[in-house]
Amino acid sequence: MNMPAHPVVIRAALSADGHLLSADPPLLTLQREAGSDLGAPLAVPQLAAIGRLALRLGVTVSRPVVAATMRGDIDMWVRARADDDGVILSIIDWQERQVAVVPPDAARRESDLAALAEGWIWQVDTQMRFEMVAEGSGGAQDALPAAPPAPGSRFSAYFELRPDAEGDMAMLRALAQRRAFRDQVAAMVAEPTQSVRLSGFPLFDVAGQLTGYRGAACATERLVFAPLDSAPAAALYPAEFGKRLDRSLRQPLGRIIANADTIGAQLEGPLREDYAGYARDIAVAGRHLMALVDDLADLQAIDRPDFAVIAEEVDLADLGRRAAGLLAVKALDRNIRVIAPDGDAAVLATGEFRRVLQILVNLIGNAVRYSPDGTEVRIVTERDHGEARIMVIDQGPGVAVADRERIFEKFERLGRDDSGGSGLGLYISRRLARAMEGDIRIGGTPGEGARFILTLPAAI
């Protein structure tokens, strides 16, 4: 799926009291979809919160943001800089992800998902304690059970969630992501042979904070469940292990990073500088572990025999500009200049959009990591003999000729002892490139910088 064309940087200005003074078209459209406009308070809670934080601290704040719209989710990397008049927002990457298309007669906003299910209605707080139960509007099937849960009782004391055929629990995944869910099968704790189907959606206050979930419970046919503690042990295949590892680690790591950032920014008051430094070190380590989780998930996917990519037309120059924008903040911290292809440059190739972007982010990230401060990283595109190329050229130490194949092996870091990577990025990148009928090779003269060249079939 081709992404919408947006400027490399989307800008907006906020007043000191949080009103939107100016905005580039994509952000202005999002503001209006949220029921607001120029001159009114910024209606996207996550962006408004970053603006308030930057204004309070008087420093530049950078954060990833996900905004939900009726047409899908928007992933952004936002920088908020306080100035004398308010806050300047710069979104250096804007990526829209469409939601899955459902039949027209069932199309609903995600927040209305629970209304699609027949059954009686329940509501819980953030501690998963019942706040309310009520009959639905669908007749006998919506009637409350003979012994409904009492307000204040725990959700887990009434429902026992059951995994689907893949071992997934839709409700637990939705709770971790603060999203709606449907078709979660559960057994009644008091009557284990009675199966119910649960659907629900999150509730938020005006500040964008989660306050609980509201949903519906619909009785289904009676089923016989094997007791959980006597069920035969399931074979732990690599694919299932990868999924569980990803789900188990991502949420706690996200909390660790967020809390460490809060402590390091001294939002609750001043700290001794060494303690603030410890918090920043924890955040850096957490991000390193999160990147390792991402790499392991990718490794599990690409090493499967049935792994495949999408063949679509992509613009390597545009992807180079997007990847450069994603890494602009990291490069600025090292005073490294990333020179992206000109705005009017275009080199069309055949590949999968998100996989090519993933490769370029890895290559440019490596170039920034291993280049001396104050140098340049250039991104160059060209097309020749039915082949489209994009090159990432740095001014670092380069790669010795003898190591130019070895560097693509799993966990190979050429003896580096820094904590900057897992040794999987280049292995994954080359596997992805070859899956798209391309390749990655290394050029450049050792001691004068490295030249990583991604080649793909040129689009006809």
When pLDDT is averaged across residues 300-305 and rounded to a whole number, the result is: 70
pLDDT score, position 99: 45
Residue 335 in this model has a pLDDT that exceeds 50: yes
* Residues ≥6 apart with Cβ < 8 Å to 309: 351, 352, 355, 432, 435, 436
When pLDDT is averaged across residues 381-406 and rounded to a whole number, the result is: 89
When pLDDT is averaged across residues 333-343 and rounded to a whole number, the result is: 91
- How do the residues of the chain divide into helix, strand and coil, expressed in percent and rounded to 5? 35, 30, 35
Residue 331 in this model has a pLDDT that exceeds 70: yes
Answer whether 390's CB lies under 8 Å from 326's CB. no
* Helix residue spans in 303-352 (DSSP H): 316-326, 328-333
Q: pLDDT (tens digit, 9 = 90+) per residue, 24-36?
A: 888 898 888 877 8
When pLDDT is averaged across residues 410-420 and rounded to a whole number, the result is: 60
- Coil vs helix vs strand at 299: helix
Q: How many CA atoms lie within 13 A of 286 on its CB side?
A: 19
When pLDDT is averaged across residues 283-298 and rounded to a whole number, the result is: 70
Show the CA angle centred on residue 216, arms to residues 210 and 217, nearest 5°.
130
Q: What phi and psi, each to the nearest 5 degrees, are found at residue 167?
A: 80, 10
Distance CA 296, CA 425 (A): 10
pLDDT score, position 111: 42
When pLDDT is averaged across residues 406-412 and rounded to a whole number, the result is: 81
2-6, 206-210, 284-288, 355-359: range with lowest mean pLDDT: 2-6
Answer whether 27's CB lies under 8 Å from 10's CB. yes
Residue 431 in this model has a pLDDT that exceeds 60: yes
pLDDT score, position 337: 93
Residue of 315, 299, 307 lying closest to 356 (CA atoms): 315
Q: What is the pTM of this model?
A: 0.45
DSSP 249-281: HHHHHHHHHHHHHHHHTTTTS---HHHHHHHHH
Residue of 217, 286, 235 lying closest to 257 (CA atoms): 286
Residue 373 in this model has a pLDDT that exceeds 60: yes
Distance CA 64, CA 79 (A): 9
Distance CA 271, CA 268 (A): 9
Which two structure tokens, joined as six digits, stand for 81? 């800089």
pLDDT score, position 72: 65
pLDDT score, position 398: 84
- Coil vs helix vs strand at 152: coil
pLDDT score, position 136: 61
220-224, 364-368, 405-409, 429-433: range with lowest mean pLDDT: 220-224
Residue of 145, 154, 156 lying closest to 228 (CA atoms): 156
Q: pLDDT (tens digit, 9 = 90+) per residue, 40-65?
A: 898 888 788 888 888 888 878 877 77
If pLDDT is split at 50, 70 and 90, which confidence band does 285 have? confident
CATH of 104-227 given 3.30.460.80, 2.40.170.20, 3.40.640.10, 3.30.450.20: 3.30.450.20
**pLDDT, averaged across the chain:** 78
CATH of 312-457 given 3.40.50.300, 3.30.365.10, 3.30.565.10, 3.40.470.10: 3.30.565.10
Q: pLDDT (tens digit, 9 = 90+) per residue, 211-268?
A: 888 888 887 754 444 444 444 433 334 455 555 555 566 667 777 888 788 887 777 6
CATH of 10-97 given 3.20.20.120, 3.40.1010.20, 3.30.450.20, 3.40.309.10: 3.30.450.20
Domain ranges of the chain: 10-97, 104-227, 238-302, 312-457
Do the domains 10-97 and 104-227 sit in the same CATH topology, yes or no? Answer: yes
Residue 312 in this model has a pLDDT that exceeds 60: yes
User: Angle formed by the axes of helices 273-302 and 238-264, to 10°?
Assistant: 160
Residue of 330, 338, 320 lying closest to 376 (CA atoms): 338
Burial class (CB in 10 A: 0-12, 13-18, 19+), 186: buried
Q: pLDDT (tens digit, 9 = 90+) per residue, 137-186?
A: 554 455 567 677 877 888 888 888 888 777 778 888 888 777 888 888 88
Answer whether 137's CB lies under 8 Å from 216's CB. no
